[in-house]
Amino acid sequence: MIGAAKKDKTSASGRRIVKVSRAVRKPNRSLGGDIFIWGILIIFGIFFIFPLVFNINQAFKPLNEIFIFPPNLFVINPTTDNISDLFIIMSRSWVTFTRYIFNTVFITFVGTAGHLFVASLGAFAVSKYDFPGSKFFFGIIITALMFNQYVTAIPNFLILTQLGWIDTYWAVIIPAFGMPLGFFLMKQFMDTIPVSLVEAAKIDGASEWLIYWRIVLPLVKPALLTVMVFAVQALWNNPQSLVIHTEQLKTLPLAISQIIGSPHAPQVARAGVNAAGLMVLMMVPIIIFVTAQSNILKTMASSGIKE
């Protein structure tokens, strides 16, 4: 229980000054409980970070250290030969390396931006307006969360074939607009915004678009950043080999996987190059996640109005 103690003092002018001091509430956990929780978190943290540390060290290991047994977690004699060999191999392709990077960046940027717009706009309508079928529509979104992308790959391929979008950028970008996870997160976060705020804006003469753009979106910045992280991760690391066949349209993950994993390539000699390619692919999602994570923590602590 939080206790309060009052101390009365009289100033030089004769006014009565009241100082209120509150006792700090102590947590119910004991020191042993805190140590146990921290221990569990540290163990799980080691498990999660182990693959990342191992792959980064593999990318800088010479060939004799990669196949040593028992394997070493950390590199002993670091080298950048694997990274340079990766760029040499990619430069020998008849499609330039920069073209693969452009395809990946373009698909990731347009797909993520479109997904943020569609998910936030749809979540705003379902969360703040009670129209016929809104609950049914949200139920479809919840149901779609249960299906993995591999389960829906064949129906998506058939639909994209009928639309004539196979082997185009749109075969990857348009399906990314409707990813259900982003819609679900945006809707759940928008539910914390009071309806009275929207109604007050309407009374002041604000249009629906102005309410969405100037009032709702700034309040759901944490959700926008979270959805952005998931969208970038899904688009950047997905090779899209099912719908992209033309070499000029292939993404960087697909190009690296087919060049390194070619049956005509010496697999033993390219083990370090494979690790370097995986490290290159991991860097962008990790950087975006770390950057967005700090912003999410700040915005969640300072925004979000509740009734």
Assigned domain for 179 exists? yes
What is the percentage of the chain residues whose pLDDT exceeds 90?
Answer: 18
Q: Give the 3-state DSSP-derived string for the chain, with helices as H, strands as E and coil as C.
A: CCCEEEEEEECCCCCEEEEEEECCCCCCCCHHHHHHHHHHHHHHHHHHHHHHHHHHHHHCCCHHHHCCCCCCCCCCCCCCHHHHHHHHHHHCCCCCHHHHHHHHHHHHHHHHHHHHHHHHHHHHHHHHCCCCCHHHHHHHHHHHCCCCCCCCHHHHHHHHHHHCCCCCCHHHHHHHHCCHHHHHHHHHHHCCCCHHHHHHHHHCCCCHHHHHHHHHHHHCHHHHHHHHHHHHHHHHCCCCCCCCCCHHHCCHHHHHHHHHCCCCCCCCCCHHHHHHHHHHHHHHHHHHHHHHHHHHHHHHHHCCCCC
Flag whether pLDDT at 117 surpasses 90.
yes
How many CA atoms lie within 13 Å of 58's alpha carbon, on the beta-carbon side? 21
Stretch among 22-36, 51-65, 279-293 having the lowest mean pLDDT: 22-36
Stretch among 31-35, 285-289, 299-303 having the lowest mean pLDDT: 299-303
Assigned domain for 236 exists? yes
| Radius of gyration, alpha carbons of the chain | 27
Flag whether pLDDT at 295 surpasses 70.
no
Assigned domain for 197 exists? yes
Which of 260, 287, 279 lies closest to 61 in space, CA to CA?
279
CA distance 134 to 250: 38
Flag whether pLDDT at 301 surpasses 70.
no
Start-to-end C-alpha separation, the chain? 25
Q: Which two tokens stand for residue 275?
A: 């690790």
236 lies in which domain range?
86-302
pLDDT in tens, 36-91: 889 998 999 888 888 888 888 888 888 888 887 788 888 888 888 888 888 887 77
CA distance 156 to 52: 32
pTM recorded for the entire structure: 0.77
pLDDT in tens, 200-259: 988 888 888 999 999 899 888 888 888 888 899 889 888 777 888 888 888 888 887 777
Provide the CA 190 distance to its chain's centre, in angstroms.
Answer: 19
Assigned domain for 185 exists? yes
pLDDT: which is higher, 109 or 192? 109
- Number of structural domains found in the chain: 1
Q: Which CATH number covers residue 156? A: 1.10.3720.10
Assigned domain for 53 exists? no
